[in-house]
Amino acid sequence: MDSNKALELGAKIQEIQTLMIAYVTDGRTPEQPRHYKQLYDEVYIDLEESRYANPNPHKSLEVFWAFCKLQEMNTYASRRAYVQEIYSDILLELKRIQRHVASSKNWKKANDALGDNLSPIRAQWLKAKNFIYASSPDFENSIKESINSIESCLMVLLEAPNGTLGKIIKNAGLDADIERLISKAYGFASNKDFVRHGGTGSSGIGKEEAEFFLEFSATAIVYITSKLKK
């Protein structure tokens, strides 16, 4: 995706957000549902073509309004906050593209591998990336999301939705040395309370470690999908 495409897509997403907020606050009009559906479909296709997961599950404004009621979002503020959050990761990524910030070469390969039932993992990895490069970085949570993306990939491909990486990787038929390497990375994250379980102490984890795990997760996903999709 080039910077012009990123700018155009970001504008469409912001227009969707405006429609969502208006519909569930005090700005509802009769033509909004039709306009939303048109934009939603365009954005969905644009994201899919650019290998990004669509973070918005609400295919219509009526469905979104029903969701707000089901989740007991009783205030305008809570609904606005939800709409802002749902697209926050992809909008941040689009801003980076507009500024010509280079992406990981490894992740391009991983992104290409994450199609069909694996596409939600694209959003997980993007969250890991954004935790590193946000204005207030969170390196611990970046590592957590990176390792979780490998775990999620195995869970889907091995049809083990309730499994954990430490258990199900043994059923993947990977090279023994690579399996141990991935398991050790998972063990590193699992043994750090501040990474996996929200510890409160100072972790000593920095950008270098977070970027290492971000790249490692991409490499692991490329390998795992090539082995298990045969």
What is the rounded average pLDDT of the residues 157-167? 88
pLDDT of residue 161: 86
Tokens representing 97?
A: 């593209």
pLDDT of residue 37: 96
**126 and 192 both lie in a single domain:** yes
Tokens representing 120?
A: 């939600």
d(CA 116, CA 59): 18
Per-residue pLDDT tens over the stretch 171-210 = 999 999 999 999 988 888 776 554 444 444 455 788 888 8
Which DSSP category does 15 fall into? Answer: H
pLDDT of residue 103: 67
pLDDT of residue 199: 45
**144 and 56 both lie in a single domain:** no
Contact 124, 148 (CB under 8 A): yes
- Type of residue found at 185: A
Per-residue pLDDT tens over the stretch 123-138 = 888 888 888 877 788 8
**138 and 94 both lie in a single domain:** no
What is the rounded average pLDDT of the residues 87-113? 79
What is the rounded average pLDDT of the residues 111-133? 82
**91 and 111 both lie in a single domain:** no
**114 and 178 both lie in a single domain:** yes
Please identify, among 65, 80, 98, the residue that sits at the C-terminal boundary of a domain.
Answer: 98
Domain around 53? 3-98
**221 and 110 both lie in a single domain:** yes
Whether this prediction's pTM lies above 0.85 is answered by no
pLDDT of residue 72: 92
**183 and 90 both lie in a single domain:** no
**pLDDT over 60 at 110, yes or no:** yes
**pLDDT over 90 at 34, yes or no:** yes
pLDDT of residue 31: 94
CA 50 to chain centre: 14
pLDDT of residue 198: 46
Please identify, among 65, 98, 131, the residue that sits at the C-terminal boundary of a domain.
Answer: 98
What is the domain count for the chain? 2
**152 and 194 both lie in a single domain:** yes
Buried b / exposed e over 74-108, threshold 16 CB at 10 Å, is eeeeebbebbeebbebbbbbbebbbeeeeebebbe
**69 and 33 both lie in a single domain:** yes
**83 and 167 both lie in a single domain:** no
**148 and 203 both lie in a single domain:** yes
pLDDT of residue 202: 52
**pLDDT over 80 at 65, yes or no:** yes
Please identify, among 75, 98, 121, the residue that sits at the C-terminal boundary of a domain.
Answer: 98
Chain mean pLDDT for the chain: 86
pLDDT of residue 24: 94
**87 and 144 both lie in a single domain:** no
**pLDDT over 80 at 115, yes or no:** no
